[in-house]
Structure formats: C-alpha cells, structure tokens
Amino acid sequence: MKHFEANFDGLVGPTHNYAGLSFGNVASLNNAAATSNPRAAAKQGLKKAKALADMGMVQGMLAPQERPDLHTLRRIGFSGTDAEILNKAAKEAPALLRACCSASSMWTANAATVSPSADTHDGKLHFTPANLVDKLHRSIEPETTGNILAATFNNSRHFAHHQHLPEHSSFGDEGAANHTRLCKNYGNAGVELFVYGQEATNPAAPKPSKYPARQTLEASQAIARLHQLDDENTVFISQNPDVIDQGVFHNDVIAVGNQNVLFYHEQAFLNTKRKLDEIKHKFGDSELHFIEVPTSKVAIQDAVKSYLFNTQIITLPSGEMAIIAPTNCQENEAVHAYLNEVVTLGSPIKQVNYFDVKQSMQNGGGPACLRLRVAMNDMELAAVNQHTLMNDALFTRLNAWVDKHYRDRLSVDDLADPQVLIESRTALDELTQIMKLGSVYQFQK
C-alpha cells in the first residue's frame, strides 16, 4: 500500500475582499479597504495547486463558503428580501455585514485538524472542523466546513468526522495552522505537535498582551482525545507570546514541519530545548532534522512580512523535499538569502519553488494557509470524492468557471450590492455540480 500526503487547497470564493477583520494579523489590518481582485486570487490559488499536482503530488480542492452569509444576517435579526437585508445591514451595521462577506474559508489550514489513520486507535482518518471563535467573520465557518469535508471525504468506513469544539473562547481552535505532524514515512505512526497560545483554565500561564492568542491548550487536548491519539505520540507546545504580539497569529507563521524535518524560528516556542527533547524522544531512533532559524539571520518582522515559515514543505515523488514559498520571500533580502542557504544545509530540503499568491498574502494567508494536509494511503484516496481532485480537466474547468463568474475588482462597498449575492450563489451552485458535492450551502436547502 502506498502512503503519501495530499494537500487540499481552498478555492478562493467570489467575494474575496480586504475588510481588515483580523486584529493581530498585520497584513489584514494594513490592507483594510484596499480593492481586491477575486478572479486573480482564485487563479493564483489554482495555479499553485495545479503546479503541485504536476510535480506528482496528490492535490485536491475544497469548495469555498457561501458569502454574503444571509443565513447569519437573518439569525441576527435582519429580515425581508435578500436585497432588503443587505441594504439594512449596510446602513445599520456595516461592520457586521463585512464580517458576513469574507472569503476567509479559502485558508483551509484553518478549516480543520486532521489526524491520519496511522496515528489513531480506530485506524480511521479523523477530521475536526475548527471553531475559529476568536474572529467573528471566521466563527461562522465551521458548520459549512463540516458539510464540505463530509462531501469531500464521504466514506464512513475510512473517515471520522467530528463536530467542531464548543463555541467558547476556552476552546478557541484554529485547526491545522497550529498543528503539524512529524513521521518517518507517512504510513508510520507520527508525532503530532499541537501549538497553543494560552491556557484557558490557567490564568497564570504565559499569554500575549497586545494581540489575541487564538488557540488554547484545552482545545488542542480535546482534539487529541477526539482523534484517539496516544500520549506517547503527541506533544503540546506553548507558542512564544512575544511573537504573537509581533503578528504571529498562528503557529504556521513561524514554524512548519514535514516527515523528519521541523523548520522553525528560534523565537517560535517557549521552553524550546525541553520540547525538542520530548519530540526527539517520542520520534524514536531515526534521523530528525531540526532547522532552527536564528534571529540574527531572519528577524521576526521579516518572517511575518515574507511568510518564510508559511511555506509548504513537500516530499516529492523522488523522496527529496521542496519548499513552496510565496514570491514575497524573494523580495525580502534576508529571507531570500536564507532560502538560498537552506538547500545547502544537508537536510532533505533540496529546492525552493516560488509562487505568486499576493492576493491571499495581502490578507495574511501564504501557501501553507491555503492548504489542508491529509496524510493518507491509496485505499483512502480511492474513497475520496474524485471530483475534488486536481488534474488537467478540473484545472481547465475551474479556470473557466472563475472567468465566467468572478469579478476582477471588488471593494468593501460592493458587498452590499444584491447583484454580488446573485453572482456568488450562481457560481457556487454550479461549483457543487462540478465537484459533485450535493447541497452543502444554506441557500441550497
């Protein structure tokens, strides 16, 4: 049986926009009210996904969410026709309307936490959608995320789908962005690393003072229980609160792992030495590469600006590893120099490939944010909804779909336009037919 890691990228939705919704996410705040280009954003994402498929990687796509989210606007008391609701919300509560219009489900690293069958007691692949409670605009995602995951991984013999954690800040959960898995081979039991920003039930524990810590230890522990992981194969690590206060709102802005490589900034964690020892002990005898980037080479500000660590480290069919980086990394001198050096360090990482994902970067999402990793075997892959898997035909079809339905300019003021809602629903309805998802959206029920 073959084992590998698949990437499921989020398709950028038709309402991709810059609304400055994410306090603590520097790019989101800096680009608030800029005009976006949803068509370019979707195409940048598709191009990266297709390039990985062409490298021999298993690549899937996850459908975006329905936005504007009329269902939520109705829940909070706006009534009348769809056009009347948009009109009233724009006048009476523009900030709430903006929160109901974000295409933020495109960052599927925040869709869920995933544990492969090699790690779980029942031998199933487990998914728990992230509740994303720290941000209003993201807290409305988990139910539909669950629907989309169930329609994509639609086989209960292989896949276990859990409900998102209780919607309270004690269980703040941001999904795979704060989770990484080290393993010898994808089919072996791995060590799952859960990184959290605060302990909800221990106010004395370290936490940031300026920006929110979105993930709690309690949430990470709940996921490990739900996914039936062994204590011997899990490590809980506190993120360094000082870096959260400098814009590292998720751990995947400061660290990334793949197989036997952990690539991280020296300031990423608390108690780094002790935690690395625990990882080594739990990982066992095989060779483990800790690639620690010192502040003297890359300052935190440069890491946050360039997204050096929000890169994907992938294992190519040849067994060599490649880094998938945003072009922003080439534009930062220190970071570019570091990436030129990293391939010479004798680790499995042998090449760096750059992709322009600027439309996503302007909202604080790099290549790693755009994908959900699912380590699986070929039997599990055969059980996945095959219409979600990237190939020449799907790439052509989705690009044509984007050309047909997406605007190339969208400002936050456009979000109240009923025509945007009609365009978005028409596009998504057609998408569910292309990807054979059934009725995953509220407007289809």
Ligand X SMILES: NCCC[C@H](NC(=O)CCC(=O)O)C(=O)O
Active site residues: 174, 250, 369
Furthest-apart CA atoms within the chain: distance in Å: 64
Spatial strand order of the sheet with 255-258 comes to 255-258, 261-265, 289-293
CA angle, residues 67, 110, 191, in degrees to nearest 5: 160
369 binds ligand X (CB under 6 A): yes
Size of the site for ligand X (CB under 6 A): 21
Q: Which is nearer to ligand X, 26 or 394 (CB)?
A: 26
Q: What is the phi-psi region of residue 236: left when phi exceeds 0, alpha when psi lies from -120 to 50, beta otherwise?
A: beta
Q: Which is nearer to ligand X, 39 or 135 (CB)?
A: 135
Chosen residue from 4, 107, 264, 307 binding ligand X by CB under 6 A:
107
21 binds ligand X (CB under 6 A): yes
Are the C-beta atoms of 58 and 6 separated by less than 8 Å? yes
102 binds ligand X (CB under 6 A): yes
Question: How buried is 393 (Cβ within 10 angstroms: 0-12 exposed, 13-18 middle, 19+ buried)?
Answer: exposed
Q: Which is nearer to ligand X, 104 or 260 (CB)?
A: 104
CA gap 199, 428 in Å, rounded: 39
CB of 291 to ligand X, least distance (A): 22
Binding-site members are: 19-28, 110, 137-138, 214, 252, 363
Binding-site members for substrate are: 19-28, 110, 137-138, 214, 252, 363
Binding to ligand X (CB under 6 A) within 246-285 occurs at: 250
109 binds ligand X (CB under 6 A): yes
Chosen residue from 42, 99, 177, 217 binding ligand X by CB under 6 A:
177
CB of 110 to ligand X, least distance (A): 5
Question: How buried is 129 (Cβ within 10 angstroms: 0-12 exposed, 13-18 middle, 19+ buried)?
Answer: buried
Chosen residue from 15, 22, 216, 239 binding ligand X by CB under 6 A:
22
Residue with tokens 């490990």: 224
Chosen residue from 15, 25, 44, 328 binding ligand X by CB under 6 A:
25
Half-sphere exposure of 61 (CA within 13 A, CB side): 31
CA gap 317, 55 in Å, rounded: 8
The binding site for ligand X (CB under 6 A) comprises 17-22, 25, 28, 102, 104, 107, 109-110, 135, 138, 177, 250, 363-365, 369
